[in-house]
Amino acid sequence: MTETRKYRSPSREQAKADTREKIVQAVVRVVLDDGLHAFTVQNVALKAGVSHRTVYRHFTTRDELLDGLAESLDRIAAGSTVPTTPETIDDVIITVAPSFQAMGEVRDAVRAYVITSLALNWQDDNRRKRTLAFDKAIGAAFPQLPSKERRETTALIRHLASTRAWYALTVEGGLDDRAAARAADWAVRTLFKDLGRRNRAAAKARS
């Protein structure tokens, strides 16, 4: 019996990807132009200029639309030269400033992402994984810190390196992208410097 192979047309796959991205960008425009109350699958379809059925082929719920927006931002981050998931605190340090500048290049998408994620109390899986990676990197660098203190530190540093911190510093704080990047970079480096001091003090007290 001959095995049937599924043929995938590159042009068809590209068209599918383009339609998906068009829908994701429509999410951005609905949220920013019409308000969060207008964020429905139907309104996204209208804004994208496609049928309701076409949207449902790609995304069946609002959460899936937000996943699509998060994936779009992740693809942009993956195209940069900085690590998207840190393995060491050095990775965290070198990531902050370039990440903030990259967010500024797609500011509307980041704004829409932050507004919806905060209002709907939503977080995508990749960001949960990134938080765990931050915790692991900080724990490895400062093993003498109590676990409670490490968790608090992870939460703070994770926030300083996040889209929400970019939003707070630029949209709410009025800083331009470069100033926001410098501020976040300074804050993270200062925190790590203090953590190193406390880690050494804890090690000395236990010796």
Distance, in Å, from the CA atom of 17 to the CA atom of 22, rounded to the nearest integer, reads 9
Amino acid at 184: A
**Per-residue model confidence (pLDDT) at position 16:** 85
Distance, in Å, from the CA atom of 194 to the CA atom of 191, rounded to the nearest integer, reads 5
58 DSSP assignment: H
Distance, in Å, from the CA atom of 168 to the CA atom of 164, rounded to the nearest integer, reads 6
Cα–Cα–Cα angle for 159, 161, 166, rounded to 5 degrees: 90
Quickly tell me which residue has 């393995």 as its tokens: 87
Closest of 198, 72, 99, 95 to residue 142, by C-alpha: 198
- Render pLDDT for 127-164 as a digit per residue (tens, 0 to 9): 778 888 888 999 999 999 888 888 898 899 989 988 99
**Whether the predicted model's global pTM rises above the 0.85 cut:** no
Token digits for 198?
């406390």
